[in-house]
Amino acid sequence: MLKNVQNSAKNQTPADVVKRAKKSSDFKEIIKLVLGVQIHILYFTTLIEHKTMEQVFLPYINECEKQKDHSFDLNQFKDNFPLEDVIRTQDAKEIEDKIHQGFVLITIETTSEECLLVNVSNLSEGVRKTNETENEFSVTGPKLGFVESLDTNILLLRSKLKSPLLTTEEFVLGTLSKTRVTIVYLDGITNEKHIETVKKRLSEIDFDIIWDTSVIDQIIRDNSHTPFPLYVSSERLDRISFTLSIGQVVIFCDGSPQAISGPSTILDFFIASEDYYYNWVIGSFFRLIRIFGIIFSIFSSSIYVAVVTFHFEVIPADLLGPLIKSRANVPFPPLIEVLFLEMTIELLREAGARLPTKVGQTLGIVGGIVIGQAAVAAALTSNVLLIIVALSALASFTTPTMAMSNTIRLLRFPFILMSSWLGGLGIMVGFAVLLCHLFKLKSFGTPYMVPLYPFRRNNFKDSFIRSPYSEISKRPGFLKPKETIKYSHVKKYQQKEDINDE
């Protein structure tokens, strides 16, 4: 159906475009007599900037109406127009695209095909005024984030990276939405292979509506059947600036406050912007805590099920008594007990995310306490498991990116099922399958598990720990940048003697 509409659109004339547009109630037509020639001014009232229309566009037309000593000249009329973006065309497809972007169409009575398109679009209407990061919080460092306007986002990026190497290339995607999508990279630093890969995948997209960068993420990813995010998605200006500086390619989408960058590795999703604002010792400590929290979140519940079901002999004698006492009146097997609590936590989390902020916070705190206490009092679960599941939920929140946090939440359930079936062996089998899956993943053709696989010793300086700035002056080798050195550093500081008062 859509292809038939597109094929018929190729054969249409400007008159056909106007006829179709007039079916919309917000499409307006103004007829003026300029230098003895009747012109028709057509536009969508909801797309134009009325201030420019009333103070610049229409006054110029009215001035032309008053002139009596000249004949109408289309080229002179176009050249003297007080607005910059004026296009002369007779291409019906271009006319249709432009009037839906906020251009005003001017048709001339004496010429059946020649038209003028004047850019009077409103770029600020409906755009969020504040650009503070809402989903990626930080205690230290800048709070600037992107908004839903593509032009504003590029402006913010250029104000941060004032470099002539910063290059942008724009695409229009979506057969219905005609969404502007821009890729950004540092020319002369970013590997050309990555740039060409991104451009090729974007040019091959055939989709109706591009709502957000997350849609592009799903369409262009190397493996669409993995729950793991393959590209870093962020709304933080400082984080996207950092990914550009190391040689990654960034994709912006008009209408989305999120930007995606790649090629990325799995360790990129556990790196927070704050790691680089603290001393390297403190930053490394927080990063290790974060990685440990993710491991604990995935395996804690499944280990509890495996130990209580199959391997109770590994429980220390001092802990065995309290554990037996807490589970003495629980009528369910460990699997049902764990699934009940895990699903309760997920329901509270989803409800808190969908409700208004103040109500969501109250529900999360009060609901968690009330339901947890009631579940223990009703002998539906044990105290020990309640503590484990609560800590597991807290640990999953330490992930800086929401996409990876959702993946961690999902991974817990297969491991719980495997541990209830085969115990510790089931956890090991699940872990082996997970590793094999991760080793096969790629991001823009780059291995996902670098520097672990393939092993890259030099890239460990900014992976599990954040080394001092003197040690991370080179860009990651797996990105194969054209320029490997980010900045020069002094290996030894010459200590000057203090001035002693004599």
Task: Give the pLDDT confidence of 369-413 residue by residue, as tens digits.
Answer: 677 777 777 777 888 888 888 888 888 888 888 889 889 989 999
Q: How far is CA 38 from the centre of its chain?
A: 49
Gap between the Cα atoms of 282 and 466, Å rounded: 9
The predicted pLDDT at position 233 comes to 92
Gap between the Cα atoms of 409 and 393, Å rounded: 8
The predicted pLDDT at position 412 comes to 92
Task: Give the pLDDT confidence of 127-147 residue by residue, as tens digits.
Answer: 666 667 777 777 787 888 888
The predicted pLDDT at position 459 comes to 82
Least confident of 16-30, 354-368, 382-396, 445-459: 354-368
Higher per-residue confidence, 179 vs 8? 179
Average pLDDT over residues 469-498: 76
Closest among 449, 398, 448, 434 to 302, alpha carbons compared = 434
Tokens of 264: 């990325």
| Lookup result for tokens 């109500």 | 359
Beta-strand ranges (E) seen in 110-217 are 115-119, 166-173, 179-186
What is the percent of the chain with per-residue pLDDT over 90, rounded to a whole number? 29
In this predicted structure, the answer to whether residue 340 has a pLDDT above a threshold of 50 is: yes
Gap between the Cα atoms of 18 and 2, Å rounded: 20
In this predicted structure, the answer to whether residue 78 has a pLDDT above a threshold of 60 is: yes
Q: Concatenate the DSSP letters of all residues of 46-91 into one string.
A: TTB-HHHIIIIIHHHHHHHHH--SS---HHHHHHT-SSS-EEEE--
In this predicted structure, the answer to whether residue 5 has a pLDDT above a threshold of 50 is: no
The predicted pLDDT at position 70 comes to 66
Task: Give the pLDDT confidence of 290-336 residue by residue, as tens digits.
Answer: 999 999 999 999 999 999 989 888 888 888 888 888 777 888 888 99
The predicted pLDDT at position 217 comes to 92
**Mean pLDDT, the chain, integer:** 84
In this predicted structure, the answer to whether residue 177 has a pLDDT above a threshold of 80 is: yes
Structure pTM?
Answer: 0.82
In the chain, the N- to C-terminal Cα span, in Å, equals: 92
In this predicted structure, the answer to whether residue 91 has a pLDDT above a threshold of 80 is: yes
- Per domain, the residue ranges of the chain are 11-119, 150-264, 304-447
